[in-house]
């Protein structure tokens, strides 16, 4: 049996999807009855969907429904919860191409990257399916006889997720799937940039067999996010997991801090890539191209500062510029041949347009040939499709950048990189560590000593050696330090600590009160052997 999606005809585009909130197992409109539009980043004539514009009442109802569902779900055996997570992975696999098309249409990722995005959620589901058969605690020796000690992972309660739109399926899966596996119930406020893929994912989760109220979805923008934070103050939420900008992350941290909760904060980046003089420059150029311009630079792990040994800087710039000037850009719903598509929305476009003045104010020099928005008049051979109805921009490379400049310190979140020339490894490492962020990082070298010194000296959550700054795998910890996050991690076994608390239990079968430290018999020592004869 299948359940139909509610859709409207949408001209020559695929139908418009009517997304709804999901609260306590029911599809609902917002209390306000208002809806917002999700227009395709590729072509704003395409109305991908509409979604409820939720407020405090909707958020509170979702949190309360999740609170009611908690007892049943947290008492469901972990292997059974794992089986449900596995089914989510199977449905995602079965519809991988369709879901990738929604990601492509909604936020403008190329199909290649959109398929990768869905695959990341599938990998995450499969990883956490098997974790349901582990979710280990420990058996620990006691100091006392006839007494045993145990540790258990306990679910936290209602876990609220607030997510960004640039990874609208993969990143939410990193949060929601382990949170559910650990026995928490979830309230998810997805990005207003990508409500349709969020709605489809929430339905898939529910249909995989979680009890009503275990997954709740509340659409909306900033007001809905702020209502989630107020729900923390009201005691309706026990855990917040946030992915987004550093500024909003600070707000989340403040609210959770005063409620004595530890939020998961996955924030912005200003990621460095170091190229030493012995590096394979062609490999480094491949990495810089993908990390700097893929997804139009709208990844938290995008390359920002390309730090190059001055002895190879001229050659690297020549090679990189030649490749960047040949990049194909275009509408990814129409072809697969481009490196990147549009910017996701107007606030990213505005920030990108502002970055030109920021860079020039400090004396950086634009070495790419075109700048600003791509239009029909200036698109030339390099644009595939019609740029009129999307926010498509030219790639930028800035030369002569120094680490103290504002452009080297500020996350732009668009297709732009800075070139910083340095003299030798030590200056390269200091420059790479020269921003307050610490998400991803990379070095290109064939010198094992430099690899080791970079691994131990770089201040970042993730580092690549002879690979780009972007990319993640479902079983490795993902996260940053400094302005990039508060040290919590997503993915792999490490994320289990974010969604459980440790519970220590002792069982005493001695039949009398035994006190640790006080009633302990550590045994008698005997007279020591005299070793002085050995000289």
CB 498 within 8 A of CB 264: yes
Q: Of these residues, 42, 63, 256, 300, which one is catalytic? A: 300
Q: Report the alpha-carbon distance of residue 235 to residue 78 in Å, rounded.
A: 26
Strands 35-39 and 47-52: antiparallel
Q: What angle do CA 107, 109, 113 make, to 5 degrees?
A: 140
Q: Using CB atoms, what's the residue nearest to ligand NAD? A: 225
Buried b (16+ CB within 10 A) or exposed e, 64-87: bbbbebbeebbebebeebbbbbbb
Q: Report the alpha-carbon distance of residue 92 to residue 256 in Å, rounded.
A: 33
Closer residue to ligand NAD, CB minimum distance, 19 or 276 = 19
Closer residue to ligand NAD, CB minimum distance, 241 or 445 = 241
- Residues found near ligand NAD in the complex (CB under 6 A): 162-167, 171, 189, 191-192, 221-222, 225-226, 229, 243-245, 248, 251, 266-269, 300, 411, 413, 439, 480
Least spacing, CB of residue 258 vs ligand NAD, in Å: 15
Least spacing, CB of residue 371 vs ligand NAD, in Å: 22
Closer residue to ligand NAD, CB minimum distance, 347 or 503 = 347
Nearest residue to 442 via CA among 422, 424, 426, 428: 428
Q: Report the alpha-carbon distance of residue 67 to residue 236 in Å, rounded.
A: 7
Least spacing, CB of residue 110 vs ligand NAD, in Å: 17
Closer residue to ligand NAD, CB minimum distance, 66 or 412 = 412
Closer residue to ligand NAD, CB minimum distance, 445 or 484 = 484
Structure tokens at 511: 């039949």
Closer residue to ligand NAD, CB minimum distance, 129 or 301 = 301
Closer residue to ligand NAD, CB minimum distance, 55 or 132 = 55
Structure tokens at 131: 């974790």
Answer positive or negative: Cα dihedral of 468, 472, 477, 480.
Answer: positive
Q: What angle do CA 524, 530, 534 make, to 5 degrees?
A: 145
Least spacing, CB of residue 226 vs ligand NAD, in Å: 4
Closer residue to ligand NAD, CB minimum distance, 36 or 413 = 413
Count the Cβ atoms, other than its own, within 10 Å of residue 133: 11
CB 125 within 8 A of CB 88: yes
Nearest residue to 196 via CA among 51, 25, 82: 51
Closer residue to ligand NAD, CB minimum distance, 116 or 221 = 221
Structure tokens at 453: 């010194």
CA dihedral 97, 388, 417, 366 (to 10 degrees): 160
Kind plus residue range of the DSSP H or E element containing 47? strand 47-52
Structure tokens at 434: 């020269």
Q: Report the alpha-carbon distance of residue 125 to residue 91 in Å, rounded.
A: 10
Long-range Cβ contacts of 244-248 (<8 Å, 24+ apart): 244/162, 244/163, 244/164, 245/164, 245/411, 246/411, 246/437, 246/483, 246/484
Least spacing, CB of residue 268 vs ligand NAD, in Å: 3
Closer residue to ligand NAD, CB minimum distance, 66 or 208 = 66
Least spacing, CB of residue 411 vs ligand NAD, in Å: 5
Least spacing, CB of residue 60 vs ligand NAD, in Å: 15
Count the Cβ atoms, other than its own, within 10 Å of residue 530: 7
- E-strand ranges in 201-355 read 215-217, 239-243, 264-266, 271-275, 303-309, 329-330
Strands 26-28 and 462-465: unpaired
182 as an active site residue: the answer is no
The residue behind tokens 């994320």 is: 495
Count the Cβ atoms, other than its own, within 10 Å of residue 253: 19
Structure tokens at 53: 């514009």
Q: So which residues are the catalytic ones?
A: 300
């Amino acid at each position: 049996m299948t359940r139909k999606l509610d859709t409207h005809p949408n001209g020559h585009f695929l139908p418009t999807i009517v997304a709804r909130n999901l609260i306590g197992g029911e599809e609902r409109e917002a209390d306000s009855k208002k809806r917002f539009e999700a227009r395709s980043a590729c072509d704003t004539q395409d109305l991908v969907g509409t979604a409820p514009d939720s407020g405090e009442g909707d958020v509170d109802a979702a949190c309360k429904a999740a609170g009611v569902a908690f007892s049943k779900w947290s008492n469901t055996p972990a292997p059974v919860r794992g089986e449900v997570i596995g089914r989510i992975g199977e449905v995602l696999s079965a519809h991988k191409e369709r879901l990738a098309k929604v990601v492509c249409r909604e936020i403008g990722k190329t199909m290649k990257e959109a398929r990768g995005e869905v695959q990341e959620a599938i990998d995450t589901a499969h990883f956490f399916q098997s974790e349901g058969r582990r979710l280990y605690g420990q058996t620990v020796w006691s100091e006392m006889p006839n007494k045993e000690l145990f540790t258990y992972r306990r679910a936290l309660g209602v876990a609220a997720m607030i997510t960004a739109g640039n990874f609208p399926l993969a990143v939410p899966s990193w949060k929601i799937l382990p949170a559910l596996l650990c026995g928490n119930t979830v309230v998810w406020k997805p990005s207003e940039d990508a409500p349709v893929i969020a709605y489809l994912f929430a339905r898939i989760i529910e249909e995989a067999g979680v009890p009503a109220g275990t997954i709740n979805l509340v659409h909306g923008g900033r007001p809905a996010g702020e209502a989630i934070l107020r729900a923390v103050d009201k005691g309706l939420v026990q855990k917040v997991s946030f992915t987004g900008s550093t500024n909003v992350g600070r707000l989340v941290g403040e609210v959770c801090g005063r409620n004595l909760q530890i939020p998961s904060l996955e924030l912005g980046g200003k990621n460095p890539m170091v190229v030493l003089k012995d590096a394979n420059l062609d490999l480094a150029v491949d990495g810089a191209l993908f990390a700097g311009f893929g997804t139009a630079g709208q990844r938290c792990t995008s390359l920002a500062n390309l730090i190059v040994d001055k002895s190879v800087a001229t050659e690297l710039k020549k090679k990189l510029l030649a490749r960047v000037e040949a990049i194909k850009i275009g509408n990814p719903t129409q072809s697969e041949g481009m490196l990147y598509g549009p910017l996701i929305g107007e606030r990213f476009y505005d920030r990108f347009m502002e970055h030109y003045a920021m860079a020039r104010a400090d004396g950086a020099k634009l070495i790419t040939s075109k700048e600003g928005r791509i239009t029909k008049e200036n698109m030339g051979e390099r644009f595939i499709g019609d740029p009129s109805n999307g926010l498509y921009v030219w790639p930028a490379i800035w030369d002569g950048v120094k680490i103290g400049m504002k452009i080297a310190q500020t996350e732009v979140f668009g297709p732009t990189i800075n070139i910083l020339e340095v003299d030798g490894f030590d200056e390269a490492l200091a420059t790479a560590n020269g921003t307050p962020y610490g998400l991803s990082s990379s070095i290109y070298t064939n010198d094992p000593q430099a690899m080791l010194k970079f691994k131990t000296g770089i201040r970042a959550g993730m580092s690549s050696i002879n690979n780009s700054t972007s990319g993640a795998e479902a079983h490795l910890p993902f996260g940053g330090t400094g302005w990039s996050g508060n040290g919590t991690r997503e993915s792999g076994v490490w994320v289990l600590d974010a969604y459980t608390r440790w519970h220590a239990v002792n069982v005493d079968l001695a039949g009398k009160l035994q006190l640790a430290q006080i009633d302990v018999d550590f045994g008698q020592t005997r007279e020591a052997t005299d070793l002085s004869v050995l000289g």
